[in-house]
Amino acid sequence: MSTKFYCNSDHCTDADKGPFVFELPQEAVMDGNNLATIFCPRCGKPMRQFPADTQKAGSSHRFYCHSDACRNDNNGLFFIDLPEEAILDDHNLATIFCPKCGKAMKPFA
């Protein structure tokens, strides 16, 4: 299992795919408490670690708000879960907007 980081700057966020994601192999990370700051290779901003619950399996689709305004240090990124029956397919999905800040929400692909 690898450790993933994301950059949510406007320069690095893709309209279709969400934020830029950088992945480190497990052997490169000693532990989460002694992890150095990872900087985005595109824009130079500090990257944040992927939320642990993005690996969640189940019958829902999770959409995250990547805005710093909606981020909570205790709970991580603000997200909304949509049930399976609300999604026709990933190609015909309407844009989901954050109820807090109004920015488009994206799943972590």
| Confidence band for 60, pLDDT divided at 50, 70 and 90 | low
| Confidence band for 31, pLDDT divided at 50, 70 and 90 | low
Domain ranges of the chain: 1-33+92-108, 35-87
Per-residue exposure over 73-98, b if at least 16 CB sit within 10 Å of its own CB, e if not: eeebbbbeeeeeeeeeeeeeeeebeb
Q: Does this model's pTM top 0.85?
A: no
| Confidence band for 105, pLDDT divided at 50, 70 and 90 | confident
Distance (Å, whole) CA 87 – CA 1: 28
Question: Around Cβ 108, how many Cβ atoms within 10 Å?
Answer: 19
Please report the pLDDT score of residue 90 as a whole number. Answer: 63
Distance (Å, whole) CA 65 – CA 29: 26
Asked if residues 66 and 102 have their Cβ atoms less than 8 Å apart, the reply is no
| Confidence band for 68, pLDDT divided at 50, 70 and 90 | confident
Distance (Å, whole) CA 20 – CA 109: 10
